[in-house]
Chain A
Amino acid sequence: MTGLFPGFLTLSAAMFSIGALGVMVRRNPIVVFMSIELMLNAGNLVLVTYARYTHTMAGQVFTLIVIAVAASEVVVGLALITGVYRSGRRLDLDDLSEMRE
């Protein structure tokens, strides 16, 4: 089982990088959200991996909390996206930059 740890960690790092790249380059907010979820789950994977490795429960519990927070974050985020869509605007993050000034 020990031999698999580098694999899990590598997978997690890959997921995180893909997610980060997605957040930075994509312009569709829904895809950006999916990328964020990818990064969160990469973090979760690391947490459960190490929990397993150290035979403690803290990582498992923390992962549950992260999942709960991610779920609430999605609710808020999707509500915002729906609100923007209803106001008749294109769902393009580069267009939604009025808050700059």
Chain B
Amino acid sequence: MNPTFTLVLCGVALGLPTAGFLINALSAGRLPHRVVTLLGPGVVLGAFAASVILLVELLTQPPSGRGITVILWHWLNLSVGPANGALGRAGFNANFSLRIDPLSILMMLVITGIGGLIHVYSVGYMAEDPSYNRFFAYMNLFITSMLVLVMSENLIFLIVGWSMVAFASYALIAFWYQRPAAVAAGRKAFITQVIGDVGLVLGAFLIFLNLRGSGGQLLRSVDLQTIFANVGPGPHFHNGLGPSGGGLVTAIGLLLFLGAAAKSAQWPLHTWLPDAMEGPTPVSALIHAATMVTAGVYLVARFHPIFQQAPVAAGVVAAVGIGTALMAAIIGCTQFDIKRVIAYSTMSQIGLMIFAVGAGAYAAGMFQFFTHACFKALLFLAAGNVIHALHDEQDIRSMGGLSTRMKLTFGAFLVGSLALAGIPLFAGWFSKEELLSSGLVLGPAVPWLWLLGVSVNVLTSFYIFRVVWAVFRGEPTSERAAGAHEAGPTMLAPVLVLAVLSAVVGFLNIDFFGFHPITLFSTFLDPVVGGSPAQSSPGIQAVALLAGTLLSLGGVALAWAVYGRRLVSAQLISRHLPWLYQLSLNGFYWDELYGTVLVRPTGAAAAMVRVVFEGELFESLVGGVRAGVRTLADDLRTMQTGYFRDYALLFFVCAVIGLVVLGLRLA
């Protein structure tokens, strides 16, 4: 690959959204509406074009050569230290360097491609909003941050991108700052992100302080390729971060996963995601479905050499992932807000991806990320069409009968639901079944996790088809639903493009049964994440596939029986297992638990500090000082007569006293 050409393309991909953000932000609303419309989505689509050229350039290389590091600029270069100093002769380098390899290019394509479609959609969705340009400024900033995060070849800039993403997410969730609920949701998301940031930063510190080269010397490197080359039993056979399974590398793995859990809304840092639905719907599609929440999956996949050295940490990752997937799927079955259902579904699907990357099936996890980005963005945008048509109504109990009024949106939503549910030949089926079956053969505990995973399948297809029937079938249950009509072209076109993608992208990676596999996708990722894990026998795989598919179809049938035909009462569970229903309806009470354990004690402590310190202590201290100064000033002011001769007299008297003192000392 030509380094200069790659550098220019990387600069374009990163520079265009940055420029879009700066122009939109600094013009402060003075740009005409039409210019913002061209600029906002335009820069992202430009970045997408650059990413596609990079992909083509990458594909022209042999698989082993698919990976290039370009240095955008030299940031810190301390290589002139003393030969035996603490940093050694090599010194410390931190450059703004970018890595282009199959993993990062995949992320870039999804971020700019799906992101670009969502930008186009926003043109229609946000057209009436008075802060139109502010919205696009934040959206462009988000794209920039995300690109920094996935392209960075350097721990420092990875963390920079990681935190910028958190800020952009905060700004977009709290975009409608006039709504107290939106502001509170933004704050909650940001605080949760910062908890994760602490984990990521501590993990990075541990790597930086402890990484040793093959000679046992401390490397003091923040360069990702250097770190990965020295971590595992690579070509030089040494464990740069202690022995495999050791305490150090396990601690690093767990700390990194804390960061990943906060970004990817995994238990126990998951509570921000449902609240984040207060933001505009394109934001939910962009951030909380396609890109930001998958940053945790990317992080674990990118740092897989460390997780491979830390089986305990990887096991925790897999267990947390599958647990979150199951919990979120159960919650999703009882929610009434259409966006919250999809949000819990996102949490659940990302739990599956986290499970896959924790279990070592990195390519399967990233494939699920790829298909999920398509069909989940589609579901959010189609839901956005519905919400828009119903004038910001989000409760599925007030919808119904929309399939005749919004035919295209219904079709798109149905495709997205089929893909999400894992119905054969739609994208989700390929990725999810591959993910589950590859998880089946890894590690002794994993088959049990697989069982949990396929039970998620039933719940997934149940809750999403519950929404399909409640929103699109039956009779309208409100005047708004009865008066709904199809969305405009800018909102419909991206939805239809995503619907086509959701239907076909699964064919990129047909891997079942072992014969004639078209594993384009896994093969593409192999140079980064290593070869596919060992496969179990085709027989077991076929059984697993059949079981997973049947369970998915069973979920659809169940939803049809309950909500379509009303063969089974929807109140069955709530009547016979009220505790389960309440648990699900209230999101397993995590918000209440955190409220009781963390938020309220902190609030009480703050209130006490306000009364005791601010009210009593500081008030009397500050008040006392103020009163003292006042008295002193009143006394001193009497000296100030305003008569010139008084001042002159004082001056002379003091001068005489000074002279006398001086004379006495000299004498």
Contacts and interface: CB of A to CB of B under 8 A. Distances in A.
Contacts of B642: 97-101
A24 interface: yes
A94 B648 contact: no
B77 interface: no
Interface string B200-214: 000000000000000
A46 interface: no
B645 A100 contact: no
B657 to A, nearest CB: 15
B627 to A, nearest CB: 21
A97 B644 CA distance: 8
B648 A24 contact: yes
A101 B638 CA distance: 10
Interface residues of A, number: 13
Nearest to A96: B644
Contacts of B641: 97, 100
B640 interface: yes
Nearest to A36: B648
B652 interface: yes
Interface string B632-667: 000000001111110011001000000000000000
Interface string B612-647: 000000000000000000000000000011111100
Contacts of B652: 20, 24
A93 B640 contact: no
Contacts of A24: 645, 648-649, 652
A45 interface: no
Interface string A15-30: 0000010011100000
A32 interface: yes
A100 B640 contact: yes
Contacts of B648: 20, 23-24
Nearest to A98: B642
Interface in A80-101: 93-94, 96-101
Contacts of A94: 643
A23 B642 CA distance: 15
B653 to A, nearest CB: 10
B652 to A, nearest CB: 6
Nearest to A25: B645
Contacts of B644: 32, 93, 96-97
Contacts of A100: 640-642
A51 B125 CA distance: 91
A100 B647 CA distance: 11
Nearest to B656: A20
Nearest to B652: A20
A34 to B, nearest CB: 14
Contacts of B643: 93-94, 97
A98 B642 CA distance: 7
B307 to A, nearest CB: 75
A50 B652 CA distance: 23
A25 B642 CA distance: 15
A46 B53 CA distance: 91
Nearest to A20: B652
Contacts of A25: 645
Contacts of A96: 644
Interface in A43-60: none
Contacts of A32: 644
Contacts of A23: 645, 648
A96 to B, nearest CB: 8
Contacts of B640: 100
A99 to B, nearest CB: 6
Nearest to B646: A24
A20 B648 CA distance: 8
A63 to B, nearest CB: 21
A93 B641 CA distance: 12
A12 B642 CA distance: 30
B637 to A, nearest CB: 9
Contacts of A98: 642
B402 to A, nearest CB: 77
Nearest to B640: A100
A33 to B, nearest CB: 12
Nearest to A26: B645
A48 B242 CA distance: 86
Most buried by A among B640, B645, B652: B645
Nearest to A23: B648
B241 to A, nearest CB: 73
Interface string B588-631: 00000000000000000000000000000000000000000000
Nearest to B649: A24
A99 B640 CA distance: 10
Interface string B32-71: 0000000000000000000000000000000000000000
Contacts of A101: 642
Nearest to B641: A100
B659 to A, nearest CB: 12
Nearest to A17: B652
Nearest to A27: B645
Scoring B640, B641, B644, B652 by chain A CB atoms within 10 A of each residue's CB, the highest score goes to: B644
A97 B643 CA distance: 6
A96 B652 CA distance: 21
A20 B653 CA distance: 11
A81 to B, nearest CB: 13
A98 B640 CA distance: 11
B660 to A, nearest CB: 15
A23 B645 CA distance: 7
A94 B647 CA distance: 12
A68 B369 CA distance: 86
A9 B642 CA distance: 34
Interface in B359-391: none
A87 B641 CA distance: 23
Nearest to A93: B644
A20 B649 CA distance: 9
A17 to B, nearest CB: 10
A77 to B, nearest CB: 12
B268 to A, nearest CB: 65
Interface string B20-35: 0000000000000000
B643 to A, nearest CB: 6
Interface centre among A23, A25, A98, A101 (most CB of B within 10 A): A23
A84 to B, nearest CB: 13
The 5 A-B pairs at the shortest CB distance, nearest first, are namely A100-B642, A97-B642, A24-B645, A93-B644, A23-B648
Given A20-B648, A97-B643, 12 more contacts: A20-B652, A24-B648, A24-B652, A25-B645, A32-B644, A93-B644, A94-B643, A97-B644, A98-B642, A100-B641, A100-B642, A101-B642
23 contacts: A20-B648, A20-B652, A23-B645, A23-B648, A24-B645, A24-B648, A24-B649, A25-B645, A32-B644, A93-B643, A93-B644, A93-B645, A94-B643, A96-B644, A97-B642, A97-B643, A97-B644, A98-B642, A99-B642, A100-B640, A100-B641, A100-B642, A101-B642
Interface of A: 20, 23-25, 32, 93-94, 96-101
